[in-house]
Structure 1
Amino acid sequence: MMRAKDKVASLRRRHRRVRKKVIGTAERPRLAVYRSNRHIYAQVIDDSAGRTLAAASTQDNGTEGSPKDRAKAVGVSLAKRAQDAGVTKVTFDRGGFQYHGRVAAVAEGAREGGLEL
């Protein structure tokens, strides 16, 4: 079994590898996802300006259901907020997490909400 310290170190290594390849610009900002044991957080970031353009999480009101349903609702909510900020295209940053389950549900919800990934 993997020790907790090793697991966190592996996540950080994966995140560093992903972030080397994913850069958010003003034309195509980065949709960054963070997954904790209980919640999921997503934000649209313009790395060139260093600004967060839109953010959403399961801590926002109105997210109910299974964890995947809640993650999908976060994606839809984030897409609406990003479009209000004038963003239609984003680059997906899975943040070292496997593109599966809740992380994939956020991407699916963002696509349904009208963002182009």
Structure 2
Amino acid sequence: MQMSKLNVRKLKKLRELVLDMNKKYMRIKRSTKIRSNITKQSKPRLSIFKSNKNIYAQLLESNGSKVIVSASSNEKDNKLDNNNIESAKLIGKTIASRALDAGIKEVVFDRSGYIYHGKVKALAESARENGLVF
């Protein structure tokens, strides 16, 4: 029995949807595992989030109830493209300087389930170079 082209397209879309959902599920699973270890420590948490267009970084209290400082690539100060490695380095520098101004030097890095590569790595190394310890 031969399948029509329409059914083949539907199956391909369904397969892509399942793979995308699995990718999101695995990131959330990694994130919860990492966060369970981080919350045991009493240091502030440097949490990041990547969207398709922007990169966000927040420094949260150890219990996660209050944002101390934040930086993102969609702020008016950032003149670079919103979602590239250079922008991530600038966000790391900005979050480090704001944290030092707030009197925070030691933090715990929460990569939110993202692989430590590319933009995540650039943001973390830039924050370390500019004075944050983690």
TM-score, reference length from structure 1: 0.89
User: Larger relative contact order (C-alpha < 8 A, sep ≥ 6)?
Assistant: 1
Deviation track 1:37-56 (CA, whole Å, cap 9, x = no partner) reads 22111111113372111100
Shift of 1:21: 1.0
Q: Which residue number corresponds to residue 80 of structure 1?
A: 97
| Equivalent position of 1:20 in the other structure | 36
Q: Do 1:63 and 1:73's aligned partners in 2 also have CA atoms closer than 8 Å?
A: no
Could you say which residue in structure 2 is the equivalent of 1:9?
25
Query: 1:47 aligns to what?
Result: 62
Q: Which amino acid aligns with 1:75?
A: G
Q: Which residue of 1 aligns with 2:44?
A: 29
Matched pairs, number = 115
Q: What residue in structure 1 maps to residue 9 of structure 2?
A: none
Distance, in Å, in 2 between the alignment partners of 1:115 and 1:82 is 8
Moved over 2 A (4+): none
Find the structure with the greater CA-based Rg: 2
- Bigger share in helix: 2
SS at match of 1:3: helix
**Displacement of 1:19 after TM fit?**
0.7
Change (3 A) 1:56 1:16: same
SS of the residue corresponding to residue 67 of structure 2 reads: strand
* Aligned amino acid, residue 10 of structure 1: M
TM (norm. structure 2) is 0.78
RMSD over aligned Cα atoms: 1.8
Are the structure 2 counterparts of residues 5 and 37 from structure 1 closer, same or farther at C-alpha, using a change threshold of 3 Å? same
Rounded Cα–Cα distance in structure 1 between residues aligned with 2:47 and 2:74: 16
Match in the other structure for 2:120:
103
For 1:84 and 1:57, locate their aligned partners in 2 and report how far apart those are by CA, in whole Å: 17
Contiguous gaps of at least 5 residues in structure 2: 1-15
Match of 2:111?
Answer: 94
1: distance between equivalents of 2:91 and 2:64?
24
Which sections of structure 1, spanning at least 5 residues, go unmatched? none
Letter in 2 for 1:88: K
